[in-house]
Each structure stands twice: as C-alpha cells, then as structure tokens.
C-alpha cells in the first residue's frame, strides 16, 4: 500500500478553516459567482445587480448577505445609495490555500513524466536521404 503524504498548507494571511469554509460556501452558488463577476467590473447598487437576473430584489439581497458574511462584498453609504463593492482578500486566501495543492500535483506530474520517459523504448531514428 502506498504511503499517504500529508499536504501542509501555510495560512500566511491568517485564514481560518471557518473563513475558508464561508468563502467556499459563498462561491458554491452560481448566482453569487455571477454577482461577483459583475462587481469585478465596478461597484453597483442592489437594484443594478438585480437587473441581469430573473430573481427578485430580496433574493439578490439574501445572496449579498452571504457574500458579505464571507467578506467577499462590502457596502458603503454614498448619499442615499448603498453600493456594493468586491473585496478580493478572501479570494486571495483561497488562492494561497489552493497553491499548495497545485504545487503538490505539479510535482506528481513531473514524477509521472520521468517514469513515462524511462518506459519509452529507444527507437532508432530512420535516416532520410
């Protein structure tokens, strides 16, 4: 049986399992991912965010609350408006968490490439005239 290698993930920015869980839970919904894509283009009000979707304004507000709880969105007062703004810090934490796994799989693929190269028979090259 092959030994199981534990992948240790440095949390460099202080991300906790709970904050990563909240971020992944927020990103699990396609509507919330679409809202984040819209906010990546610039801040927007709840009404502006409701327009492209076939759901109610209260439903968009519920999605925004989930995104706010995960730290992915913030709101601020601008006169009578309360525009929403994308916050990238939680995404950076997820990226740092995933990076350790990317490095692990990169090493595994390099080892596989070496094994496959060793298995290749030495094929003599044909001479061309």
Distance CA 1, CA 129 (A): 52
Please give the sequence-ordered ranges of beta strands (E in DSSP) within 8-115, or none if there are none. Answer: 73-75, 84-86
What's the mean pLDDT in 119-126?
71
Q: Percentage of residues in the chain with pLDDT exceeding 70?
A: 82
| Count of C-beta atoms within a 10 Å radius of residue 32 | 21
What's the mean pLDDT in 85-92?
92
Distance CA 102, CA 107 (A): 9
* Domains identified in the chain and CATH numbers: 17-88 (1.10.10.10)
pLDDT for 57 beyond 50: yes
Strand partners, 78: 81
pLDDT tens digits for range 22-56: 999 999 999 999 999 999 999 999 999 999 999 99
| 127: confidence class by pLDDT, cuts 50, 70, 90 | low
SS3 at position 60:
helix
pLDDT number for residue 19: 87
**55, exposed or middle or buried, with CB in 10 Å at 0-12, 13-18, 19+?**
exposed
pLDDT for 17 beyond 90: no
pLDDT for 2 beyond 60: no
| 3: confidence class by pLDDT, cuts 50, 70, 90 | very low
Is the pTM value of this prediction over 0.85? no
pLDDT for 12 beyond 70: no
Distance CA 117, CA 47 (A): 58
């Amino acid at each position: 049986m092959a030994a199981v290698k534990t992948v240790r993930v440095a949390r460099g920015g202080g991300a906790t399992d709970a904050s990563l869980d909240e971020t992944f839970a927020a990103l699990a919904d396609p509507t919330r991912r679409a809202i984040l894509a819209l906010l990546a283009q610039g801040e927007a009000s709840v009404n502006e965010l409701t327009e492209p979707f076939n759901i109610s304004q209260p439903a968009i507000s519920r999605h925004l609350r989930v995104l706010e709880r995960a730290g992915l969105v913030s709101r601020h007062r601008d006169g009578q408006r309360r525009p929403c703004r994308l916050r990238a810090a939680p995404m950076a934490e997820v990226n740092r968490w995933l990076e350790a796994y990317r490095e692990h799989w990169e090493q595994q693929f390099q080892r596989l490439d070496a094994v496959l190269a060793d298995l290749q028979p030495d094929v003599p090259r044909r001479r061309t005239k």
